A = this chain, B = another copy of it.
Amino acid sequence: MVLVATRNPLNIGAAARAMSNFGFARLRIVNPYEVAFREARSAVGASALLANAEEYKNVAEAVADCTLVVGTTAVRHRELQHPLRRLEYGARLIRKHLGSSRVALLFGSEKFGLSNEDLSHCHWLMRIPTCEENISMNLGQAVAVCLYEVVRDAKFAAQPEKPKTATAGEVERITRILLDAMRASGYLNRRRISDVEDRIRRLVRRLNLPARDAEVWLGILRQIVWKMRSEKKPEG
């Protein structure tokens, strides 16, 4: 992570915090406006990372030991002399590269971004897919989004629902006690429907009851049925 000509030290701290959140350790700073950035309070949980940040006079020295240098930009229609990739794809290339060697990810100043001279050190540029109406992101937020995409694990996107729903047997027990409750309450007597049991059975199944809740629902319904029946006796 290389921050070039950053103006606000709080943004350097926020970048350090995002690095720490996503497991990146090496922060390099080129010509910050504020020399006292190392005390930025925004680096929550990342003060050591910030204290170890390396300072450089120019981009060339800051990226000298890297084999891939990627610049970030919000601009889309500037006369870009570089390939411009969306974050989804760029981060994938960065991830592959990180397996074998060092990658420098450059962020420019809050006000002007990276200069043309800074960009000339880059192999290609990357942009976050923001809306046309407001393409400019806060520096700390842009760093967080980029690093998240690099560590993002696609295999978790397809994570299947865990089969936690109640068994058919449990659901059927609940259906029967619900039918008892409906009879005891008089609901079924008032509305005579020929296929009522099937309808109620489908109604209960559409709830997709979680397995852990099956016993609770059975208990609630049993209590209700018991109460209705015990109140009936004194009257009858």
Q: Which residues of A contact B (CB under 8 A)?
A: 14, 17-18, 20-23, 42, 44-46, 83, 85-89, 92, 128-131, 133-138, 140-142, 144-145, 148-149, 151-154, 156-159, 162, 164
A62 to chain B, nearest CB (A): 23
Interface centre among A85, A136, A145, A158 (most CB of B within 10 A): A145
Are A21 and B152 touching (Cβ within 8 A)?
Answer: no
* Cβ-defined contact, B157 with A92, below 8 A: yes
Contact of A152 with B45 in the complex, beta carbons under 8 Å = no
Which of A20, A130, A144, A156 lies at the interface centre, i.e. has the most chain B CB atoms within 10 A of its CB?
A: A144
B128 and A148 within 8 A (CB): yes
In the complex formed, the residue of B with least CB distance to A162 is B83
A158 to chain B: closest CB distance in Å?
Answer: 7
Distance, CA A141 to CA B45, complexed state (A): 14
Q: Given A83-B162, A129-B152: A88 and B138 within 8 A (CB)?
A: no
Residue on B with the closest CB to A140? B141
Chain B residue at minimum C-beta to C-beta distance from A10: B10
Q: Is the CB of A153 within 8 A of B138?
A: no
The interface centre, meaning the residue of A156, A158, A164 with most chain B CB atoms within 10 A of its CB, is A156
Complex Cα distance, B136 from A46, in Å, reads 11
* Cross-chain contact A156 with B89 (CB below 8 angstroms): yes
**Which chain B residues border A88 with CB–CB below 8 Å?**
152-154, 156-157, 159
Instruction: Decide: B138 and A22 in contact? CB cutoff 8 A.
Output: no
Known: A88-B152, A157-B88. A21 touches B134 (CB 8 A): yes
Give me 9 other A-B pairs in contact (C-beta within 8 A), A129-B156, A142-B144 excluded.
A17-B134, A18-B138, A21-B128, A23-B133, A42-B138, A45-B133, A83-B162, A88-B154, A89-B157
Please judge, given known A-B contacts A14-B141, A44-B138, whether A21 and B131 are in contact too, CB under 8 Å.
yes
